[in-house]
DNA sequence: GGTCGCCTCTGAATCGATTTAGTTAGGGGC
DNA sequence: GCCCCTAACTAAATCGATTCAGAGGCGACC
């Protein structure tokens, strides 16, 4: 019954005494053969346990695999546990699913520095974030569509979020109530890796190297407009958007003597803001009386809790949907810029 | 320079005046040809923009694709936003990455009821959770390894968590302080879909149909051992492990008059427990004085917050690692049962 | 000097499908 | 009865690689 090797289309054709073309058509183009023959073929296929054309052979012959690869700048382990990346993937998966495609996950931080060979199996690529090594993109088969998310690949389609105005908006909201001492916690903003206070000597990355630079520009514009000296606002930096990495930096901030501790912290991500919130609560600080906190991203974790995080929401799911539609050719592959929405929670009313 | 079509291995061989075998060996088996020839081939490949053997053709010929598929019982959209599933994927990705494999995401809840044809491209399958339609598993190429996670496929390897003892342990912890009124919030436990109170008429699913049944058995054993009448404990049920679905059910519980509202809620998942926590806090209930809450899973969101959730941790990342190692043949493909760890937080000290 | 073995390299079969061009049979129109 | 058209089916080329069996050359050993 179940032989060790799977039966092939050719063998099935021989069993039936028909050509391989007819069997192929029975599965792919029902209008190309008579109803009776088709039924006969499908019945025999079921009987012999033939599960349909082999994907490897089919993809070689047709040149298409029905697979779209998502190439993530961060490691898969990190990305899968990051709410923003998960939402993006979720939006991508939704559209791919609806159009009979599947999702292959690739990371720019593999064990070795090269793209795995299996990458070239995909029909198209969605690239999320700036790769650690730009040469990785050279390995992608150039004749397949590529869509960049949250950064740019020259000459390719892209989906972006309007970071500067979003950051400006939330900072304006926060600065309506003048803080005694504001502070900013950045994410991967410095040229040299830095987990802690950003000193005057450190150079910052440009907006083409990190999206948080655009957010900082928005913050600065808001400070300026409120007559505050942005350059005097203390800044910290974290290299990774995780509890583990953020915790020591934030503890350093919260453990400052009362007269130095900020009473307003603008954070570059919800993950950072939530970590601030947790650690502040554990120290018995009153939120928002003793400390006001803002985030960025609008992840679910910040909203389905009490107090709710004040933040600005980017629709990462929609970002994924658009990228997926572009890569499938369902939508013109042009640069798209998404807007954001201010969410006023209880951490900074 | 860059023609529209990619150059093939055969064309590269012709350019160089060598056989295709040598070019193939240059990329795959460096010991099979002289150093000089190999360098000459690689140099010419670079010059002509040849990016290495095509994955489609290679996988057809070798029979292996270096791709492992993860088949998820839930939709991808749900799974990617579920912390437990994400941790599992994360563990899988970690091992696959380290061994040069990539990850293909498939869902048992596709648009149509059949497995996408591209599934047969994978070298092996990790199946997570009970499929909505069991026939989906028949579509999987049977000669490739399959590993079941959190359920069983007859005759296949599996990775399980020891649910009953885990649930027993946390219930025992909670019952050390006798509650006035305990309650249990279940997850997809009833035969008929039900979001709300479980009445006496409803039949429960067996442990082979849902993992939460084993957890309930553990709870019941603990009640028995503490001389409490488990059958008298009110139970609720939710059909999906999300804020949206849980919220109305939990509001119904918390809005009960004081003398009926439970002061101990045992929840089948951390997601449920965290939703209880949020809604209780918004109502001004004191945790744990007015209401003690326990979860199940040990997701990060429950621990990196204040108050910390009392729960029992299953190591989903490790579960993923083991499944991946089994599917790659790095570990014997035998049934594995993982133990859990009681985490005592502030929601039920 | 002959033989053996090793190192390089090549020719050709093969993986399992899809698809083009073409053949056959049958029916309708005149 | 003839011609043309369509429907149904087939033969064979092809997609782009891998790999087995074998050929040729060279040095070493007896």
> Could you give the CA distance from residue B336 to residue B323 in angstroms, rounded to a whole number?
9
pLDDT at position B231: 92
> Could you give the CA distance from residue B237 to residue B231 in angstroms, rounded to a whole number?
15
Q: What is the largest CA-CA distance in chain A?
A: 89
pLDDT at position A212: 93
pLDDT over 80 at A139, yes or no: yes
- At the second CATH level, the architecture of B163-314+338-343 is 3-Layer(aba) Sandwich (3.40)
pLDDT over 70 at B124, yes or no: yes
> Could you give the CA distance from residue A277 to residue A311 in angstroms, rounded to a whole number?
13
pLDDT at position A240: 95
CATH of domain B9-53: 1.10.260.40
- Tokens 């450190």 appear where? A202
Contact B117 A66 (CB under 8 A): yes
Q: Which two structure tokens, joined as six digits, stand for B305?
A: 């917050």
Report residue A319's pLDDT band, with 50, 70 and 90 as the boundaries: very high
Contact A90 B81 (CB under 8 A): yes
pLDDT at position B224: 95
> In the 32-91 stretch of chain B, whose C-beta falls under 7 Å of nucleic acid strand D?
52-54, 56-58, 60-62
What tens digit of pLDDT does each residue of B262-290 get? 999 999 999 999 999 999 999 999 999 99
Element (H, E) at A149: strand A146-149
Fold match between domain A9-53 and domain A67-160: no
Contact B104 A107 (CB under 8 A): no
Closest nt by CA–C1' to B63: C15
**Angle formed by the axes of helices B20-28 and B35-48, to 10°?**
90
Cβ pair B112, B56 in contact under 8 A: no
pLDDT at position A39: 93
Is the preceding peptide bond at B307 cis, omega within 30 degrees of 0? yes
pLDDT over 60 at A1, yes or no: no
pLDDT at position B2: 39
- Tokens 């003892």 appear where? B165
> Could you give the CA distance from residue A86 to residue B80 in angstroms, rounded to a whole number?
6
Q: Which residues have CB under 8 Å from A204's CB, separation 6+?
A: A189, A190, A191, A198, A213, A216
> Strand, coil or helix: what is A260?
coil
Among B14, B261, B24, B56, which Cα is nearest to A63's?
B56
What tens digit of pLDDT does each residue of B301-341 get? 999 999 999 999 999 999 999 999 999 999 999 999 999 99
Mean pLDDT score of chain B: 93
Q: Which nucleotides of D are covered by protein (CB under 7 A)?
A: 7-21
pLDDT at position A112: 66
Element (H, E) at A10: helix A9-16
- In order of A94, A303, B81, B195, B266, the CA distances from B245 in angstroms are 20, 15, 14, 8, 18
What tens digit of pLDDT does each residue of B51-103 get? 999 999 999 999 999 999 999 999 999 999 999 999 999 999 999 999 999 99
Q: Which nucleotides of C are covered by protein (CB under 7 A)?
A: 7-21
Report residue B345's pLDDT band, with 50, 70 and 90 as the boundaries: very high
> Could you give the CA distance from residue A309 to residue A302 in angstroms, rounded to a whole number?
5
Residues of chain A positioned with their CB less than 8 A from the CB of B64? none
Cβ pair A191, A204 in contact under 8 A: yes
Q: Does domain B67-160 correspond to CATH entry 3.40.50.2300?
A: yes
Distance of CA B347 to the CA centre of its chain: 26
Contact A118 B76 (CB under 8 A): no
Cβ pair B26, B37 in contact under 8 A: yes
Comparing A110 with B79, the larger pLDDT belongs to B79
* DSSP-derived pairing of the beta strands B182-187 and B336-338: unpaired
A84-93, A163-172, B28-37 — which is least confidently predicted? B28-37
Residues of chain A positioned with their CB less than 8 A from the CB of B80? 80, 86-87, 89-90, 93
> Could you give the CA distance from residue A219 to residue A4 in angstroms, rounded to a whole number?
64
pLDDT over 90 at B221, yes or no: yes
Q: Does A67 touch chain B (CB under 8 A)?
A: yes
Report residue A108's pLDDT band, with 50, 70 and 90 as the boundaries: confident
Segments making up each domain of chain A, as ranges: 9-53, 67-160, 163-314+337-343
Residues of chain A positioned with their CB less than 8 A from the CB of B102? 104-106, 116, 118-119
Q: Does A343 touch chain B (CB under 8 A)?
A: no
Strand order in the sheet with B124-128: A336-338, A157-161, A146-149, A124-128, A67-72, A102-107, B102-107, B67-72, B124-128, B146-149, B157-161, B336-338
pLDDT at position B207: 87
pLDDT at position B6: 81
> Could you give the CA distance from residue B188 to residue A270 in angstroms, rounded to a whole number?
31
The fold for domain A163-314+337-343 equals Rossmann fold (3.40.50)
pLDDT at position B111: 58
pLDDT at position A111: 58
Closest nt by CA–C1' to A52: C17
> Could you give the CA distance from residue B20 to residue B13 in angstroms, rounded to a whole number?
5
What tens digit of pLDDT does each residue of A227-264 get? 999 999 999 999 999 999 999 999 999 999 999 999 99
- Tokens 């499938």 appear where? A328
> Could you give the CA distance from residue B149 to residue B137 in angstroms, rounded to a whole number?
14
């Amino acid at each position: 019954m179940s032989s060790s090797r799977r039966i092939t289309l050719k063998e099935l054709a021989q069993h039936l005494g028909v050509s391989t073309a007819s069997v192929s058509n029975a599965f792919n183009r029902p209008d190309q053969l008579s109803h009776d023959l088709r039924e006969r073929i499908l019945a025999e296929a079921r009987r012999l346990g033939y599960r349909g054309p082999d994907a490897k052979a089919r993809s070689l012959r047709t040149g298409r695999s029905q697979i779209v690869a998502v190439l993530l700048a961060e490691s898969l382990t990190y990305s899968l546990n990051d709410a923003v990346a998960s939402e993006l993937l979720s939006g991508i998966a939704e559209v791919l699913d609806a159009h009979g495609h599947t999702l292959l996950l690739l990371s720019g931080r593999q064990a070795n520095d090269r793209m795995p060979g299996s990458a070239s199996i995909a029909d198209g690529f969605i690239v999320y974030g700036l790769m650690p090594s730009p040469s990785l993109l050279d390995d992608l088969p150039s004749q397949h569509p590529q869509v960049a998310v949250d950064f740019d690949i020259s000459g390719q389609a892209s989906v972006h979020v309007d970071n500067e105005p979003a950051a400006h908006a939330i900072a304006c909201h926060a600065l309506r109530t003048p803080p005694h001492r504001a502070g900013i916690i950045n994410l991967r903003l410095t040229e040299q890796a830095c987990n802690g206070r950003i000193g005057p000597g450190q150079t910052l990355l440009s907006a083409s190297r990190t999206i948080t630079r655009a957010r900082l520009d928005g913050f600065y514009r808001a400070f300026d407009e409120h007559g505050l000296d942005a350059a005097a606002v203390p800044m910290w930096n974290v290299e990774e958007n995780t509890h583990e990495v953020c915790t020591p930096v934030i503890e350093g901030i919260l453990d400052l003597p009362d007269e130095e501790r900020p009473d307003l912290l603008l954070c570059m991500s919800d993950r950072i803001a939530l970590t601030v919130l947790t650690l502040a609560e554990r120290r018995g600080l009153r939120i928002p009386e003793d400390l006001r906190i803002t985030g960025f991203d609008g992840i679910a974790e910040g909203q389905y809790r009490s107090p709710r995080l004040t933040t600005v929401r980017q629709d990462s799911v929609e970002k994924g949907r658009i990228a997926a539609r572009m890569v499938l050719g369902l939508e013109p592959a042009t640069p798209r810029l998404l807007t954001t929405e201010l969410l006023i929670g209880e951490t900074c009313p």
